[in-house]
Chain A
Amino acid sequence: MNLLRTLVVSTAIACFTFAGVAGAGTLDDVKRKGFVQCGVSQGLPGFSNPDEKGNWTGIDVDICRAVAAAIFGDASKVKYTPLSAKERFTALQSGEVDVLSRNTTWTLVRDTALGLNFTGVTYYDGQGFMVPKKLGVKSAKELNGASVCVNIGTTTELNMADFFRANKMEYKPVVFEKADEVVAAYDAGRCDVYTTDRSGLAAQRLKLKNPDAHMVLPEIISKEPLGPVVRHGDDQWFDLVKWTLYAMLEAEEYGLNSKNVDKMKSSSDPVVKRLLGIEGDMGKNLGVDNNWVYNIVKQVGNYSEVYDRNVGPATPLKLERGANALWKEGGLQYGMPVR
């Protein structure tokens, strides 16, 4: 029976130690290992997409780079994990990634039951439908009986169900895990309709054989606030990712950009001085260097620079600022005061 007692005791010890490890601070972890592990998509142009050289680009990617710039003063200290919609939350929950920045919609269930926290909204979006022009469909209300290609594990899957149910229409979902397979199935004619976030439609359309043969229907059937996500229970890390985005919005609002940020160091505006760490201990409060905003803006840019570079009207996606304009310009983007 001695053996049994040993077993019980060792089990109990194992229990305690195990519970202890999982709670360590993410920021300390990240600093120790020297890079941010960032969960991204498997390739969505404008949001997170590897370029010809294999470098990740996109608005979601830039958020991770900004976090790295704030911590290390070096935006390149990021490693990327491409995740399908289905895998993404498990990867975050299990600690495989430090932050998930992958066109992920902020919903109540994800924010609570999944044990996650959304740190803000990088892109205000809504779900839309794309159909081949030759179908002759002008409105989503005409889609009764359609086959719909969709990504598994997305809000898209759910909104679509709601929309068809509310309009008393029937539909046949064809559900794939990989976004490229969804697009390919739609392109081959397996479905009549392709549905996802409208930004996603704009991006995925570029992958079609003949993008001009397709059109996006006017209806926007949902709200899709896309933003970065972290785990529950680590407020320090949550704060840092959250304020990284606010800093980029504040920088835009106060006229800081990657080109003028060095000159602006000598600005007399107290807000700018606080942002750039010349006055106050903003960075210290977050657990990073005081010139964190300088590093972000210098290396990654302010919000509008990031927007225009990745998804703006000058890019293949051609997305107008719209709801993503600053609040002062009638949009929804509103950076909290850095003070």
Chain B
Amino acid sequence: MAKATRKSSKRMTVSQEVMIQMIDVHKWYGQFHVLKDINLTVNKGERIVICGPSGSGKSTLIRCINRLEEHQRGQIIVEGTELTGDLKHVELIRSEVGMVFQHFNLFPHLTVMENLCLAPIWVRKMPRQEAEEVAMNYLERVKIPEQARKYPGQLSGGQQQRVAIARSLCMSPKVMLFDEPTSALDPEMIKEVLDVMVELAESGMTMLCVTHEMGFAKTVSNRVIFMDEGQIIEENEPEEFFNHPRSDRTKLFLSQILHH
């Protein structure tokens, strides 16, 4: 991790305004209880890193926030709107919550520019010209304005993930969800994506990030959540979390992940 980020993280502020609230959330896949009694409050401007062993339910948790998965019990409230079966609520929340996937999920039949403009035009009803201006702006922020006319298939993995981030940002989301954004990338590309994420954090974006990049967690996040077997086991400030883990499972996990 770049030294600069350590300094900058001090500058970041957290407000008291509640962005996401999960209350007693449970989820089952058939008989399988994936999420057990999840309680989580995320304030505006918070940068939360979620970690935990494979299969612990990290992805499921953040996918519930934009209802790519449905929870069966409890409440999820995003920006004052509760996620229910009401499609209007779902649409509203999805357009306010951006998501970045492990495998980018860019639309391969559209150019980078078209990928970025699709949702602003069709969801926000933005004129194309304006949408393109916004898109160009974000492409510059992720440092690949020159790739605008190319197709995703012509870009490197790191470039593709940066396009995916820009695509989400084009909707001016209030929250960004990241599901292992760097784990499909070659080491030399991880940094370029993390740099973008750090910059995004500095700009005050509310972020929930599933990642195994412990450097990122230490320097950028203001809270780390450790999950196992569908439960939140431990939740703490990064300093405390890494230096004084409370539960044995956290200790075990950290020892495994830091030795690698």
Contact, chains A and B (beta carbon distance below 8 A): no
Q: Which residues of A contact B (CB under 8 A)?
A: none
Q: B interface vs A, CB < 8 Å?
A: none
